[in-house]
Amino acid sequence: MRFDFGQGNLVEAFVRQRKSRNGWLDDIDQLVDWRPLEALFDHVYASREGAASYPVLVYIKLLFIQQWHGLSDERLEAAVDDRLSFRRFCGIPLDRPVPDHSSVWRFRQHLAAKGEDGISVGERLLAAINAQLDARGLILRQGTLIDATIVRAAVKPPKGDAGEVSELDPDAGFTKKNGETFFGYKAHAAVDEGSGIIRQLVTTSAQIHDSQACDALVQGDEAAVYADKAYDDAGRRKRLKDQGIAPRILYKAGRNRPLRPWQKSFNKVMSVIRAPVERTFAAMKGELVPVL
């Protein structure tokens, strides 16, 4: 069954006049040209049998809300059903049901699926959004801040040792940070210095080391790359220099190889410059986004 959201009603017209504290969603809705984003899914839902029950744009916006607020699929369903600002942003009328969590999960699988060229729909989606931001002159290219953050899986971790695989989320994995065990994924991001825009995002199982995704996150048109000690590698520094990119990666002390005074000073300065990447991750996890 498909729902046509083209028609409104009197209640909807009344609600639209109510300005909520989530007015930033309305601003985003006006800023983004959603049509080319929808077009990315034409081949996914080319047939009537494979079509989604809701317009593709509804699912795209649902995933944005989920990302911004750090919601599981189940909590996303409940939140959108409850909040008028979320419904309005997604284009779901008050007299229509919200897509259930299993539908959101299936749509996300379409995002992750790779095409014949090895590029996923999700990667194309991010590239299309960045193209719009770039057209507005918002991407600065002064430098790229590279880092990774742990994203907990939306399901409970499997029982047993850290080698167990979850039947509900087999791609999730275990990792440890500061002595605490986490189950889920790592989001590896390339963030534009100065604007905070995510230029590229790579998601891996949590057990993958941060540095393994580093080279794939270098954009090639930035003046410098900033990263923490986990990415310190002589070969990586040389590759960046060969591309004309300044390798502003923090130095890591080795066994019987303490940092020199100039390296310590370098690390302090670079740490300040790369600090905004943490704000980007906080926004991704919903920690800086106001809620109704």
Provide the residue ranges of all domains of the chain, joining segments of one domain with +: 10-129, 139-284
Maximal CA-CA distance, the chain: 74
Determine the topology of domain 139-284 in CATH: Nucleotidyltransferase; domain 5 (3.30.420)
pLDDT tens digit sequence for 147-169: 999 988 877 888 766 567 787 77
> Measuring CA to CA, which residue among 103, 105, 80 is closest to residue 93?
80
Alpha-carbon distance 197 to 149, whole Å? 16
Query: What Å distances lie between residue 140 and 100, 191, 194, 196, 219, CA to CA?
Result: 39, 11, 7, 10, 12
What is the pLDDT, as a whole number, of residue 48? 45
pLDDT tens digit sequence for 195-215: 888 899 888 999 999 999 999
Query: SS3 of 147, please?
Result: strand
Least confident of 39-53, 67-81, 99-113, 128-142: 39-53
Sequence-distant (6+) residues with CB within 8 A of 90 are 58, 61, 62, 65, 80
> Residue 221: in which H helix or E strand, if any?
none
Alpha-carbon distance 140 to 143, whole Å? 8
Looking at residue 120, the DSSP 8-state letter turns out to be B
pTM reported for the whole predicted model: 0.72
8 pLDDT exceeds 50? no
Which position has the token pair 């601003």?
27
175 contacts 131 by C-beta, under 8 angstroms? no
- Which tokens in the block code for residue 129? 């959004």
22 pLDDT exceeds 70? no
